[in-house]
Amino acid sequence: MTRRRARKGQMGAGHTRYPIVPDEGTWPEKAYKNLNFLQSADGRLIRVMCEFAEPGARFRRLGVRHTVVFYGSARLVSTTDAIAQLENARTHGDKAAIKRAEVNIEMARYYDDAQELARRMALWSMELPKNKQFAIATGGGPGIMEAANRGASLAGAPNVGLNISLPFEQEPNPFQTPELAFEFHYFFVRKFWFVYLAKALVAFPGGFGTLDELFELLTLVQTKKTVKRMPIVVYGTEFWKKLVNWDYLVDRQVISQEDLDLFAFCDTVDEAFEHLKTELERTYL
């Protein structure tokens, strides 16, 4: 009995247009090898599942069980780079560039502090038993993400970069451990991996992305959709209290006074390190 072959390109009405048979005289391609299908709308569920499954397999293979996540702006630079930017702007007499560089110098301490905090957390973690260690994890890009990956790298510790494909602001930094550098397409899957392994989180000053990530996490903790104890440090009291009127939220009864206990403000590396170390030791060690 002979098998009937679909003609090349033959499709029923309303079907996605990807080839059924790649060439005349050959058997149809297996579905999991058909890139046209996998990249189509019909293949979206499989692509989403891959972004759940492959990172999980890699984390298990490399022994990453716990993370300390760093959030923050992709636009901040180190003090050294900010000073160089200012000198260059002054050389060219560019007033707008001078103003931007002056702001960058004011904000650069957050880059420097993120790098040092990540370095100290990584050094402390490496003294723990292998199955109790906490890997530094970031979004893998520039700014605060780069600073935290850089600090962990300086400590000689493996660290995670949860990169995502964006049209701008997502240049993978060179300090993430290559075997633990990921590239996501779907924001919601990336957010899952930020939270799933996290045992602590530090939010440095940032923009829309940082606000989105911090407030989503606070919502998950507040509503007990994540039940694990997770110390959350909001770094830079002056920045965050100017940005968000926390007391007004309580006053208007849109949050409870107790909700402000979900996180701790910190302003120095020493303060943040001691808070994270104490809370992690109490809860997980």
Identify whether the C-beta of residue 79 lies closer than 8 Å to the C-beta of residue 105.
yes
- Whether residue 16 lies inside any domain: the answer is no
- Whether residue 279 lies inside any domain: the answer is yes
**Domain enclosing residue 221, as ranges:** 51-78+109-284
Alpha-helical runs (H) found in the chain: 35-38, 44-62, 79-92, 95-126, 144-154, 187-196, 208-222, 237-243, 246-251, 269-284
Q: Give the CATH number for residue 161.
A: 3.40.50.450
pLDDT band at 19 (very low <50, low <70, confident <90, very high): low
- State how far the Cα of 215 lies from the Cα of 217, in Å rounded to an integer: 5
> Mind listing the pLDDT tens digit for each residue in 34-43?
999 999 999 9
Using the predicted structure, report yes or no on whether residue 169 has a pLDDT greater than 80: no
- Whether residue 4 lies inside any domain: the answer is no
- State how far the Cα of 155 lies from the Cα of 122, in Å rounded to an integer: 6
Question: Into how many domains does the chain fold?
Answer: 1
- Whether residue 211 lies inside any domain: the answer is yes
Instruction: Write the CA distances from 51 to 120, 188, 189, integer angstroms.
Output: 31, 10, 7
> Mind listing the pLDDT tens digit for each residue in 186-208?
999 999 999 999 999 999 999 99
> Mind listing the pLDDT tens digit for each residue in 40-58?
999 999 999 999 999 999 9
Identify whether the C-beta of residue 240 lies closer than 8 Å to the C-beta of residue 205.
yes
- Whether residue 21 lies inside any domain: the answer is no
pLDDT band at 23 (very low <50, low <70, confident <90, very high): low
- State how far the Cα of 161 lies from the Cα of 139, in Å rounded to an integer: 5
- Whether residue 158 lies inside any domain: the answer is yes
Pick from 220, 236, 258: which is nearest to 71 by CA?
A: 236
- Whether residue 161 lies inside any domain: the answer is yes
Q: What pTM was computed for the model?
A: 0.88
- State how far the Cα of 82 lies from the Cα of 80, in Å rounded to an integer: 6
Tell me the HSE value of 96 on the side-chain side, using a 13 A CA sphere: 0
- State how far the Cα of 272 lies from the Cα of 112, in Å rounded to an integer: 14
- Whether residue 36 lies inside any domain: the answer is no
